Amino acid sequence: MPLIPLRPLLDHAAANGYGVCALNVNNMEQIQSIMEAARATLSPVIVQASRGARTYTNDIFLRNLMQAAVELYPEIPVVMHQDHGNAPDTCISAIRMGFTSVMMDGSLEEDAKTPAGYEYNVAVTREVVQIAHSFGVSVEGELGCLGQLGTGMGEKEDGHGAEGKLSLDQLLTDPAQAVDFVQRTGIDALAVAIGTSHGAYKFSSKPTGDVLRIDRIQEIHSKIPNCHLVMHGSSSVPEELVAEINKYGGAMKNTYGVPVAEIQKGIKAGVRKINVDTDNRLAITAAIRKVFATSPEKFDPRDYLKPSRTAMQKICEQRMKEFGQAGKAPGVPRKSLAEMAADYAAGKYGDPAKPSKPYNAFKGQGGAATAMGH
């Protein structure tokens, strides 16, 4: 089965009341973990790569690893998603490399750290929608900046994130503004700011409704029910994995993530895509540290990569079951990019989603063949 766009998967998730974990990758073992988990649970998957991952792996390696995944697991619908594009050129380069979904994060300026003005966000996101929808590629936007409501501080992870103190207006997505944003950009999915943040250090204590605003999801969804909502920074940071890392020589500080029960509330309220990365990193690191500590004579990379791959697969399977996507793979529509492009042009997803002029994949300043230049 070829890669599929994001929109049909999230439409199916909305119609059937489940969420889909979007899992970040940097290498072959991570992709294998995800695909084995998907096969074991019969789950559709969203595999995503940040700009940092694209630079680390190289686009050509990444593209061919993903092609291998769909060839080896033909029963699994797979979306290949660009996570946190910092500028239209980044998204264009992803489309040229075969990504079937892109995120234009216009909540920050192109430096990926300065909070952007609203009109800037609208303009750059709409530009990406114009290009992407012409080729059937789905688009995720973001409104509001990720950061901690308890401290008011932004966050930076993998070279992306607001820096310094932010206002409450910046840290929480405004429901009324979300309506205008979706109407003017035509996006397929909207990442919302509700107090979550990237990385392992999200909360200093178990989060309450004051610092994790699931109620804001309900407000937003009630106003834009046809745009799929996305939770970023949604790893749960299992305490047993932190303890395992520290047991075998790590020095992680005490921390709390987003409880699975809260994510499940978000799914019931309209969240369809849930970004999970840190949990998998913790599982990998814990497994590798254990091998290094208990079998110091080992030197074959396979001796520690195999258990790390198994550990990540276990987390992926767990989240697929908890988010409700397990067993849903057979029902997901297998739509091609060409079919999606025709649907966008015909207005199936509303007039805002229609590209108003033809674009080709080589437009945009820079237009590098990979993310290396971005």
Distance CA 216, CA 271 (A): 11
Q: Which of 32, 39, 101, 92 is nearest to 66 (CA)?
A: 32
Find the angle CA(239)-CA(80)-CA(178) to the nearest 5 degrees: 75
Cα–Cα distances in angstroms (integers) from residue 373 to residues 89, 127, 343, in the given order: 9, 20, 32
Annotated catalytic residue 83: yes
**HSE of 103, CA atoms in CB hemisphere, 13 A:** 31
Q: Which of 348, 224, 309 is nearest to 27 (CA)?
A: 309
SS3 96: helix
Give the active site residue among 83, 158, 174, 277: 83
- For 251-297, give the DSSP string: -PPP-B---HHHHHHHHHHTEEEEEE-HHHHHHHHHHHHHHHHH-TT
Percent helix, strand, coil in the chain (nearest 5)? 45, 15, 40
Q: Is the dihedral of CA 277, 282, 285, 288 positive or negative?
A: negative
Kindly provide the residue ranges of all beta strands, DSSP E only, lying in 187-263, ordered along the sequence: 189-192, 228-231
Give the number of other Cβ atoms within 10 Å of residue 25's Cβ. Answer: 25
Q: Let me know if 50 is exposed, middle or buried by CB neighbors in 10 A (0-12, 13-18, 19+).
A: buried
Q: Which of 217, 192, 197 is nearest to 207 (CA)?
A: 197
Long-range contacts of 104-107 (CB under 8 A, 24+ apart): 104/128, 104/129, 104/139, 104/140, 104/141, 104/142, 105/141, 105/142, 105/160, 105/191, 106/141, 106/142, 107/142, 107/143, 107/144, 107/145, 107/162, 107/193
Bridge partners of 189, per DSSP, are 140, 228
Active site residues: 83
